[in-house]
Amino acid sequence: MKPVTLRTKRLLLDQPTLVDVDVVTEYCQDPVFEQFMLTPWPYQRHNAEVFLGTVVPSGWEDDTEYTWALRREGELLGLIGYRTRSSDLGFWLGAPHRGQGLMPEALAAVADFAFEQAGRAILWECVPGNVASASVARSSGFTWLGEGPSLYPDRRGQKFVAWQARLSPTDSREPKPGWPAL
């Protein structure tokens, strides 16, 4: 598939490219990434170059993963990706852009796109304790599933117990009961 651009009230979501290497590298230095993300650690410029130059374009090309850059007035704020085979998504924002309601806005656009493309439920998971990610999923209308085996291994190649939730095409986007206290 050719990369698809999405728009929300405040954001432009487009394909991140090698132009974004420095900003992605900078954002991924945040200690939050070490604790809660599956990205390489320590994150180096080379990691961003491979991701943006190879992984992102090949994911679009072979329809396995669609990755968007969240931009406002041209500035890269973060990334969101949807994996087609497992119908799951992941996301992050650079520290200066958190707490502004930007990720739920982007997630709604990506969910609408994914539902239009595949028509099936979207899964979300995170490392336990990642309250920020869980708050985004909860506020976006995902239903809490609990803890279960992760879809993807950690940095050491090990499966772990992940927090998990699901959003179905027919679900309202209102927060659902059943989430643990965040």
User: In this structure, is the dihedral angle defined by the CA atoms of residues 22, 125, 72 and 6, taken in order, positive or negative?
Assistant: positive
CATH topology of domain 6-167: Aminopeptidase (3.40.630)
Note down pLDDT in tens along the chain; length 182 residues: 999 999 999 999 999 999 999 999 999 999 999 999 999 999 999 999 999 999 999 999 999 999 999 999 999 999 999 999 999 999 999 999 999 999 999 999 999 999 999 999 999 999 999 999 999 999 999 999 999 999 999 999 999 999 999 999 999 999 999 999 98
- Per residue in 118-164, pLDDT tens? 999 999 999 999 999 999 999 999 999 999 999 999 999 999 999 99
Edge-to-edge order in the sheet of strand 143-149: 6-7, 12-14, 65-72, 75-83, 88-93, 122-126, 161-167, 143-149
pTM above 0.85, yes or no: yes
